[in-house]
Chain A
């Protein structure tokens, strides 16, 4: 079945450092979504990317979709303690009826 791999599994940073998580698929994706889950909370939708090479920004967060539509990244500039949580990507194979979630990257930020 469709596999969506996410790396790294964990990332510990000092406040103010940058952070990047990567999402890779073995197959071409129709789209990819990113979600954030705060500790003890539920996943919350951040953004969806659809076009090859697409780049979108939300304040300090930059999302990219690869040219081949098989990978994506989320980059956070100058992390803050409010960025703590687990970031999930989810992608839909072009022939699939639903998206598949990656296992997530858990970010901790040391003040």
Chain B
């Protein structure tokens, strides 16, 4: 089992460019999450998907969109990247519902110039 995988590991964008961060899990989990972590800071929830076919906004959704493509995959899209979106992005999954243990991917380190 690979657990939670994320691609790419690193990315540099110019302001205004778009990109999609990919996340997949092979644990048959129902719930998936996208977080951002700025240097020296905690985890801030961007979007989450409680189950296949549903998505909900977290604390900091502005500038992002998500797609729960199927049970395994949950992608995060930046339509027009801004320097303020420079961060480390973590995807996580949990068995759900009411089973809250989250398993995190290795992260994507994104720099927007």
Does any Cβ of B come within 8 Å of A27's Cβ?
no
Task: Map CB proximity to B onto A55-92 as digits: 1 under 8 Å, 0 otherwise.
Answer: 00000000000000000000000000000000010101
Is A90 a contact partner of B102 (Cβ separation < 8 A)?
Answer: yes
| In the complex, residue of chain A having the shortest beta-carbon distance to the beta carbon of B4 | A42
A-B contact count (CB 8 A): 49
Interface size on A, residues (CB 8 A): 22
A30 and B98 contacting across the interface, CB-CB below 8 Å: yes
Whether A43 lies near B100 (C-beta < 8 A) is no
Closest residue of chain B to A43 (Cβ to Cβ) is B104
The B interface, classified by DSSP as helix, strand, loop or mixed, is loop
What's the tally of chain B residues with a CB closer than 8 Å to chain A? 22
Contact yes or no, A33 B90, CB < 8 A: no
Q: Which residues of A contact B48 (CB under 8 A)?
A: 98
Residues in B whose Cβ lies below 8 Å from that of A31: 100
Q: List A contacts of B56 (CB < 8 A).
A: 97
- Which of A45, A98, A99, A106 is packed against the most chain B CB atoms within 10 Å? A98
Question: Is B70 part of the contact surface with A, judged by Cβ < 8 Å?
Answer: no
B-chain residues with CB within 8 Å of residue A97 when the two chains form the complex: 50, 56, 97
A103-B41 in contact (CB<8A): yes
A42 adjacent to B105 (CB under 8 Å) = yes
Given contacts A97-B50, A98-B31, contact A42 B42 (CB under 8 A): no
Q: Is the CB of A48 within 8 A of B101?
A: yes
A99, B50: Cβ atoms closer than 8 Å: no
Q: How many angstroms from the CA of A102 to the CA of B43 in the assembled complex?
A: 8
Q: How far is the CA of A60 from the CA of B26 in the complex (A)?
A: 32
Contact in complex: A98, B50 (CB < 8 Å): yes
